[in-house]
Structure 1
Amino acid sequence: MSESLKARALRLLSQREHSRAELTRKLAPHGTEDEITALLDRLAEVDLQSDARFAESWVRSRQARYGSRRMAMDLKQRGVGDALIAAALAEGSDGDDTARAREVWAKKFGTPPADAREWAKQARFLQGRGFGADVIHRILKDRDDESA
């Protein structure tokens, strides 16, 4: 069973980077907790599995579509530590959230909101993509004051 566990882990890692927590969850039905821990320790020791590498890869693949908050939340859900998340976001971001939010907004909408309802729709979209309120207000140019 131990060899098939190792083969499963290597197959998963050959497809894409995985966090330690993801591998633990995916391998759980196929081995005991001690076997999985020992295997993952060994894979990390020989640098076949790395949470830092996983986080960097995750940020690189999603930075064009999502804000820092969303990427950080997704990484945290996948068991990556706060220090590794901060390092990956700092290293991987190709600009600030405002520039990314502007690109995402332009691709989806492209025109400023005409009224409060449209403003709210665009703001919800950007918020769902993980951009903060300050960034959203900058992108939409504080047009919500028309509704007040």
Structure 2
Amino acid sequence: MIDLGPFAALRPETPLEAARGEDRERVARMLATDPALWSNEDIDIVMFRAQTTIGGPETFKWILPAFLDRTLAGETWGWMTDTEILVNKLDHAGFDTWPTDQRETARFMLIGWLARRSAYSAEGDDTSDPGDDLALRKWLEARKT
């Protein structure tokens, strides 16, 4: 597991705005439990809906490490957030203005996430096309330190 220290104290916006009552309940349940116990479904839904129908940039920053960590761990579950959506969410969350330690941790995880997706593609996984990852590769290249 990657050191998520820079993200450890983050929480969704308060009060949490969510278009669906079930999403408010989902986030409350997640906040009350250890992230290791969060279901893939909860992580997936909150990640996909963050900044659109659940919360704003802080909600996205809160869920991002769990999403990346779970997928880096080899969870090939049917994640809804693809690379283009991820790039849009990173930009909307103001990634370039995040504290340096958060940006570097996220960059490290995103690079690993792309490598993992490439490995899936090489293994014949039809859901991971390297061409789909081009937007994130370019986005990361523009943010090299």
Shared fold per TM-score greater than 0.5: no
For normalisation by structure 1, the TM-score amounts to 0.33
Q: For CA contacts below 8 A with separation 6 or more, give which structure has more relative contact order.
A: 2
For normalisation by structure 2, the TM-score amounts to 0.34
More helix by proportion, 1 or 2? 1
